[in-house]
Structure 1
Amino acid sequence: MSQDEARIHDTDIPDTADGTVTYDGPAGGWGSLQGISQIFGREWSSPAAIETLMRQNKPKGFMCVSCSWAKPADHHTFEFCENGAKATLWELTSARCTPEFFAEHSVTELRGWADYDLEMQGRLTEPMRYDATTDHYVPCSWDEAFQSIGEHLRSLDPKSVIFYASGRASLETSYLYALFARLYGNNNLPDSSNMCHETTSVALKKLLGVGVGTVVFDDLAKCDAMFFFGQNTGSNSPRFLHPLQEAAKRGVEIITFNPVREKGLESFVNPQNPAEMLTGRETRISSQYHQVKAGGDVAVLIGLCKHVFARDDEARREGRRVLDVDFIEAHTHGLDEFEAKVRAISWDEIERESGLSREAIESAGDVYVKAERVIGVYGMGLTQHAHGFLNVAMFVNLLLLRGNIGRDGTGISPVRGHSNVQGQRTVGISEKPELVPLDKMAEQFGFDPPRDKGMNTVEACHGFLEGKVRAFISLGGNFVRAIPERDAMEAAWTRMQLTVQIATKLNRSHLINGKAAYLLPCLGRTEQDIQATGPQAVTMEDTFSCIQGSIGLRKPASEQLKSELAIVAGIAKATLPDNPKLKWDDWVGDYGLVRDLIAESYPEMFHDFNDRMFTPGGFYKGNAARERIWKTESGKAEFTTPDRLNSIGFDDAPGRYRLMTLRSNDQFNTTIYGMSDRLRGIEGRRDVLLINPDEMARAGLSEGQEVWLEGDAGDGVHREAGPLRVTPFRLPDGCLGAYYPEMNSLMPVWHHDGPSKTPAAKSVPVRIRT
């Protein structure tokens, strides 16, 4: 057995996993290159595509439109991953979705198309409005669109209008979009983080005083161990695999807890290493991989903390300590109550709720105890549960016990999915007015900003169902497809007076329209943005809180495209009364002026913004918790005492399963690039139900059998999805897997985390119907 093979420590995986669908190769390698070329063969091989990809995530290049991973100062030759390349080629496609396409196909017909087929029609080329008489989109001028949208907005109660933002719009556009909403009269500014990492923003803000992670990129090279919970690196942030590979090679213990065996956290072949590509030699990433039951992370983390306390007891008898008592005394609050609770919980309870053995959890706990510097990494496998706040809080508890926050090589690191979703929140896209410098903005722009809380995503969904939301403006995204309770939401959506979609490509949300509807095509991030003062640059914030500049150089897909910023300004000008402090035309002409406004509103983070925006690796906006300054109610980092042992929000019962919604390797959020989930061994289809062989046998199911899933939330509402093809897959008992967004119809809108209202997409109660 090789040294790399010996590093992997599989635990609690049933022997019956033999015969399940799986992928035998590593993440990366030739499979990654083939995955790109199979979908974008023509674009992938064109000189324009190669030139563009060579500028991706590099100084004076453009920020990837996919995930929010860092753009490091010391970059690789190819600073893009498989999914990042897919996202770029998706934008660079030669296909065009023109007015002739819409003349040929009615909206009703297009609603019956698959998500993949809609997006593969290519780039939108002209502004369009929905003609209800003919049920077709028809061309319109930009002036017509702006003026009509403005007239509708002026006729509505501002509190009834939603200003939604997906996670890709630049800081400049996001700032003006939020300003527009508040000038109009509301804080109804939900964004895509409401559906994924709002749990992070709420939990870390309360417990550490900051709403984002405390880790910076350089910490990855300084840690001794990493603990992963519910994060699929191989598909969702593949460039993370490079520092993970480096860490594994230098002996860093990487401990993974995830219900699904995600290939990127098992093994990796670096496509940038010729020797690895030629020999196929792979690096084992995780030294321990534990398949925790969906929603069982609370129990795992309690078990890890319980083991830390036990090892501390042993050390005290020898005159040592495992707990960082100096840190705990000076910087934390609430340990005594938490410790008493953890000590009182039995290992039998922990094993039952986690689906793991005591031995497995203690083995991981020993790694934590021995490591001097630990980073905690997590994704939506922690946040998207009915008690996701508790998941995050328990992870914070574990790190606090040994002072693993606020030192180099330590910290908590939520990995954000979309390219600027964190940055949008930083510059004002928030339904929570207390997070925005409203007094300063009132002074800047001469108005009285609304002070009442706005609607987040779940509250907006309730507003649709109740008829309280009358208009919806979407800055990117595919909102109707992404939200829970899809069938009911689509029916309610058409009762709105106005829907406006700012987009690069067609998706299903554009086909569920209000009485008046506009589809406004925008420039992509790879494209030249020429305004009155010349070519413009924009900025984004990465997952490590660094601000990066981005410049597009490709010729736009259509001469009629406008930038997102210009579209927002055009609607705002047509809607709002005159105000000499609102210089929309100047701001569109020179984005540097917008950055000056941001610096004025947020001087601590964005001082000298224009001068610093192209700092190699980005400039760091700062993080108080990283400096061990705790902006919490107690003035210290908070321990949280658990009141339950799982995060699912419902009781187990015979025949009731925990459904996890998953994204495939050929997918980013709701965007479906193709029908290959290579890293799980699933090809050519998405209508699959993943279930382990033991569960198949108990339920009397056979491989390939078609079944339906029915919601089992107990509220009397019938929800179903299918037919789905039974597929044996390595999952814990009681757990099922199926693809997002197709399974959203099974998720009640009220099934969400309490404090953050993040939809609980990783543990949906369902039954199987044959």
Structure 2
Amino acid sequence: MADPKIEPYDGPAGGWGSARSLAEILTREQIPVSGAALLMKQNKHDGFMCVSCAWSKPAKPNTFEYCENGAKATVWEQTAKRVGPDFFARHSVTELLTWTDYALEEKGRLTHPLRYDAGTDRYVAVSWEDAVAEIGRELRALDPNSVIYYTSGRASLETSYMYALMARMHGTNNLPDSSNMCHEPTSVGLKASIGVAVGTTILEDFEATDLIFFFGQNVGSNAPRMLHPLQEARKRRVPIITFNPLRERGLERFTNPQSPTEMVTRSSTEISTQYHQVKAGGDIAAITGMCKVLIAADREAMEVGRPRILDVDFIAEHTHGFSEFVAYCDGQDWPAIEARSGLTREAIEAAASVYARARSVIAVYGMGLTQHRRGTEGVQMLVNLMLLRGNIGRPGAGLCPVRGHSNVQGQRTVGITEKPDLAPLDKLKELYGFEPPRETGRNTVEACEGIVAGEVKAFIGLGGNFIRAVPDTVRMEEAWRGQRLTVQISTKLNRSHLVHGAVSYILPCLGRIEVDVQASGPQSVSMEDSTSCFHGSRGQTKPVSDAVRSETWIVAEIAKALLPPNPKVDWDAWVGDYAKVRDAIEATYPEVFHDLNGRMFDPGGLHKPLAARDRKWATETGKANFTVPGGLGSDPDMHTERRDVLDLITLRSNDQFNTTIYGYDDRFRGVKGTRMILFMNGNDMERLGLSDGESVDVVTEAADEFAREVGGLRVIKYGIPEGNVGGYYPELNPLIPLWHHDAQAKTPAAKAIPVRIRKAVPIAVSD
């Protein structure tokens, strides 16, 4: 870290700030020329899908179809730096545990399979044959339900399909993935409300919309390529109304780096036409207020003979539960709505009045809406708002949950799920001649609970940095070492490799950007974006090492070592030609993947059929359901009248992606050289006797016996609602209790953690 500096940043998202940041990381990772050339293939039809976020690849891509963070992800993966056996000969695991997340990954790409040696406290090189054989032996000795098969959002559809099949043939549905930690309330809430578990918008809807809502999604850091359709919408004078606790630069102003005029003149486009700084967990209250306004306005219009505000024909034909929802809205009083949302009645009415005049409306949302104790209810409240005016199943309208990792949605589509009712078990039985397990597996939180309880004996990680991504970090690390086997399939070193079981392996894999040559020649892979569109991806660069293997190959080899031979599953044939895996995917899901092999490289990709787009509702009622929340608060049991308890929101900087830290700067928030920051409202600071720049400790206010705290945070006065504080993920994950999760989806409630602020005690230094 450099000397920390906090200074206001007045620039827009994009622009010269992005250009300078990209130039810096290209130079730092020692690929300034080759990296820049490679980026021209990113998100192109004949190139590779971004390894970062899951935003859609357009049919007509821009010349530079990548954003700052997507480019960083590419450069980070294609670094010239290497981590081989010689690195581990110089560094013990005990030493590496003291390194930061950035320092570990920044050392470069893993080059050889490794096994932990307890005698030397080091990872040492091992042959693929020996590694796979021992992993198979260890897994065969365990109860299948004591094994966790975890996936991050990186793996392709092909690898994910094979991985899920391997787990089920082993005998378990323990298939949690990173979606459990972010958008599971979407999967649960949308499925119950409208019959599909994903968003209903496609990229073309942004060209036909009349209004865009944003709820808890920081487009400037987490899906910057979306800024292009947002900018085009604003040029058409489409209003964008944002609800978010912090003012995020990407939702304020954007300079398009692809526009020479904008770059030369340093001009920018205003993104949000209304910006409402809702309190953490106040979204249900804010949406309730808007619905209340619309319902009242509709009654008034009906009484005086003006056109109706609500889409009463749509409501009558397509929805269920409307009267109960109206009764709920009528029963909420404005003082309570204002108190819980942190917004005035006038502000909520201003947003509702714009919505009342717009015909086709898109609602974009992210983890600011989902990561709460009632995150599923928050998602369903947004559905209610859209149903009132028929904004599902219409061009230019719909729900747009912005997924994080680049294929996290696609993994679920091809069987990565702990829920047996979401997997085609009967079809798998028919195709492969085995009896799939029917009991529900463990999701991510339940996997953590099983590890803490000593019930989970093995963890196979297909990508990701699980131990840093999950809540209750200190408790999890202590329990993690009790496992018999831990296996990490990875491109770079991270902390999950260093906190390990008795038998531990690091298996280095090809990155998506590298050419993957198998028996039939160079292979392509496929993935699904946030708009339910499947795309192909072709590797472009030479593999980092002759000793790395593709994820597909690694999964197949473990499966062969673990499972008895099955004449209906030819793992070697699948590895030799990934098109055969896609044929198997289509055979398993014929209604979804019609001609995947033939269409995955079509401009715009292959769209997944979504019944809700056609106003067909695969719900228990056969209609789209209005639902009634349990109250105005997204975190009702965590709020207290105590003035010394604040709600902590975990955040990402614009110099990171998920747990990957690219650097210590957060340009948009004016932070340089540190991540140990606590953003606070000035009134809260004054009330608690804190000064700007002061060092504090943060302690979780939790009703259990475990002490959770993070020390050494620097207080920064910032534009955040009173009663809320913000700090960076994953550094503040130790403050999230494992039980602090959504009631229905079990997603950790990382956006409203009750905490107390304690002044740091100076350490005495003796003479």
TM-score between the two structures when normalised by the length of structure 2: 0.97
| Equivalent position amino acid for 2:670 in 1 | G
8 Å contact from structure 2 (residues 31, 80) kept in 1? no
Once the 2 structures are TM-superposed, how far is the Cα of residue 45 of structure 1 from its aligned partner? 5.7
Q: Which residue of 2 aligns with 1:318?
A: 304
Q: 1:344, 1:765 → 2: CA distance?
A: 28
Out of 617, 634, 651, the residue aligned to residue 639 of structure 2 is 651
Q: Secondary structure at the match of 1:213?
A: coil
Matched, 1:717 2:717: no
Once the 2 structures are TM-superposed, how far is the Cα of residue 38 of structure 1 from its aligned partner? 2.2
Q: Secondary structure at the match of 1:117?
A: helix
Q: 1:81, 1:584 → 2: CA distance?
A: 37
Matched, 1:235 2:224: no
Q: 1:44 to 1:127 in 2, by over 3 A?
A: closer
Q: Which residue of 1 aligns with 2:655?
A: 666
8 Å contact from structure 2 (residues 23, 32) kept in 1? no
Root-mean-square deviation (CA), in Å?
A: 1.0
Out of 207, 210, 217, the residue aligned to residue 224 of structure 1 is 210
Q: 1:732, 1:720 → 2: CA distance?
A: 22
Q: 2:6, 2:525 → 1: CA distance?
A: 46
Q: Which residue of 1 aligns with 2:315?
A: 328
Question: Which digits, 9 at most, give the CA deviation of each residue in 1:264-312, with x for residues without a partner?
Answer: 0100000000000000111000000000000011110000001101211
8 Å contact from structure 2 (residues 524, 538) kept in 1? yes
8 Å contact from structure 1 (residues 37, 44) kept in 2? no
Q: 1:492, 1:683 → 2: CA distance?
A: 35
- Percent sequence identity is 61
8 Å contact from structure 2 (residues 111, 544) kept in 1? yes
**What runs of 5+ residues in structure 1 fail to find an aligned partner?**
1-18
8 Å contact from structure 2 (residues 6, 671) kept in 1? no
Once the 2 structures are TM-superposed, how far is the Cα of residue 542 of structure 1 from its aligned partner? 0.4
Q: 1:142, 1:518 → 2: CA distance?
A: 11
Q: Please, which moves more after superposition, 651-660 or 106-115? A: 651-660
Matched, 1:689 2:673: no
Once the 2 structures are TM-superposed, how far is the Cα of residue 724 of structure 1 from its aligned partner? 0.3
Question: Which digits, 9 at most, give the CA deviation of each residue in 1:622-666, with x for residues without a partner?
Answer: 100111000000000010112211112412222111000000010
Out of 182, 188, 199, the residue aligned to residue 174 of structure 2 is 188
Q: Which residue of 2 aligns with 1:731?
A: 720
Q: Please, which moves more after superposition, 573-582 or 513-522? A: 573-582
Once the 2 structures are TM-superposed, how far is the Cα of residue 341 of structure 1 from its aligned partner? 1.4
Aligned ranges 1:542-557 → 2 under 5 Å: 542-557=529-544
| Equivalent position amino acid for 1:217 in 2 | L
Out of 454, 464, 479, the residue aligned to residue 467 of structure 1 is 454
| Equivalent position amino acid for 1:710 in 2 | V
Matched, 1:50 2:55: no
Out of 55, 70, 74, the residue aligned to residue 56 of structure 2 is 70
| Equivalent position amino acid for 1:722 in 2 | G
Q: Secondary structure at the match of 1:226?
A: strand
Q: 1:21 to 1:697 in 2, by over 3 A?
A: farther
8 Å contact from structure 1 (residues 548, 614) kept in 2? yes
Matched, 1:587 2:574: yes
8 Å contact from structure 1 (residues 129, 517) kept in 2? yes
8 Å contact from structure 2 (residues 276, 347) kept in 1? yes
8 Å contact from structure 2 (residues 695, 712) kept in 1? yes
Once the 2 structures are TM-superposed, how far is the Cα of residue 37 of structure 1 from its aligned partner? 1.9
Q: 1:433, 1:64 → 2: CA distance?
A: 30
Aligned ranges 1:526-675 → 2 under 5 Å: 526-648=513-635, 649-652=637-640, 653-675=642-664
Q: Which residue of 2 aligns with 1:276?
A: 262
Once the 2 structures are TM-superposed, how far is the Cα of residue 318 of structure 1 from its aligned partner? 2.9
**What runs of 5+ residues in structure 2 fail to find an aligned partner?**
760-767
Q: Which residue of 2 aligns with 1:396?
A: 383
The size of the alignment, in residue pairs, is 752
Q: Secondary structure at the match of 1:223?
A: coil
Matched, 1:741 2:727: no
Q: 1:564 to 1:20 in 2, by over 3 A?
A: closer
Once the 2 structures are TM-superposed, how far is the Cα of residue 69 of structure 1 from its aligned partner? 0.6
Once the 2 structures are TM-superposed, how far is the Cα of residue 44 of structure 1 from its aligned partner? 7.3
Once the 2 structures are TM-superposed, how far is the Cα of residue 51 of structure 1 from its aligned partner? 2.1
Q: Secondary structure at the match of 1:606?
A: coil
Q: Which residue of 2 aligns with 1:500?
A: 487
Q: Secondary structure at the match of 2:591?
A: helix
8 Å contact from structure 2 (residues 596, 606) kept in 1? no
Question: Which digits, 9 at most, give the CA deviation of each residue in 1:122-147, with x for residues without a partner?
Answer: 00000000011111000000000000
Once the 2 structures are TM-superposed, how far is the Cα of residue 607 of structure 1 from its aligned partner? 1.6
Matched, 1:437 2:424: yes
Once the 2 structures are TM-superposed, how far is the Cα of residue 42 of structure 1 from its aligned partner? 4.9
| Equivalent position amino acid for 1:224 in 2 | D
8 Å contact from structure 1 (residues 721, 746) kept in 2? yes
Q: Please, which moves more after superposition, 342-351 or 534-543? A: 342-351
Matched, 1:677 2:663: no
| Equivalent position amino acid for 2:638 in 1 | F
| Equivalent position amino acid for 1:348 in 2 | P
Q: 2:138, 2:158 → 1: CA distance?
A: 25
8 Å contact from structure 1 (residues 269, 280) kept in 2? yes
| Equivalent position amino acid for 2:685 in 1 | M
Matched, 1:120 2:106: yes
Aligned ranges 1:14-163 → 2 under 5 Å: 22-43=8-29, 46-163=32-149
| Equivalent position amino acid for 1:191 in 2 | D
Matched, 1:371 2:342: no
Once the 2 structures are TM-superposed, how far is the Cα of residue 314 of structure 1 from its aligned partner? 2.0
Matched, 1:178 2:167: no
Q: Secondary structure at the match of 2:328?
A: helix
8 Å contact from structure 1 (residues 205, 632) kept in 2? yes
Question: Which digits, 9 at most, give the CA deviation of each residue in 1:325-362, with x for residues without a partner?
Answer: 11000100001011011112111111111111000000
8 Å contact from structure 1 (residues 158, 186) kept in 2? yes
Q: Which residue of 1 aligns with 2:414?
A: 427
Q: Secondary structure at the match of 2:352?
A: helix
Q: Secondary structure at the match of 1:55?
A: coil
Q: Secondary structure at the match of 1:159?
A: helix
Once the 2 structures are TM-superposed, how far is the Cα of residue 196 of structure 1 from its aligned partner? 0.3
Once the 2 structures are TM-superposed, how far is the Cα of residue 597 of structure 1 from its aligned partner? 0.2
8 Å contact from structure 2 (residues 653, 728) kept in 1? yes
Once the 2 structures are TM-superposed, how far is the Cα of residue 21 of structure 1 from its aligned partner? 5.7
Q: 2:702, 2:615 → 1: CA distance?
A: 42
8 Å contact from structure 1 (residues 21, 729) kept in 2? no
Q: Which residue of 2 aligns with 1:458?
A: 445
Q: 2:66, 2:618 → 1: CA distance?
A: 36
| Equivalent position amino acid for 1:281 in 2 | S
TM-score between the two structures when normalised by the length of structure 1: 0.97
| Equivalent position amino acid for 1:588 in 2 | V
Once the 2 structures are TM-superposed, how far is the Cα of residue 159 of structure 1 from its aligned partner? 0.6
Q: Secondary structure at the match of 1:109?
A: helix
| Equivalent position amino acid for 2:666 in 1 | D
| Equivalent position amino acid for 1:324 in 2 | D
Q: Which residue of 2 aligns with 1:484?
A: 471
Q: Please, which moves more after superposition, 713-722 or 385-394? A: 713-722
Question: Which digits, 9 at most, give the CA deviation of each residue in 1:212-265, with x for residues without a partner?
Answer: 000000000101001110000000000000000010111101000000111001
8 Å contact from structure 2 (residues 150, 459) kept in 1? yes
Once the 2 structures are TM-superposed, how far is the Cα of residue 43 of structure 1 from its aligned partner? 4.6
Q: Which residue of 2 aligns with 1:750?
A: 739
Q: Secondary structure at the match of 1:767?
A: strand
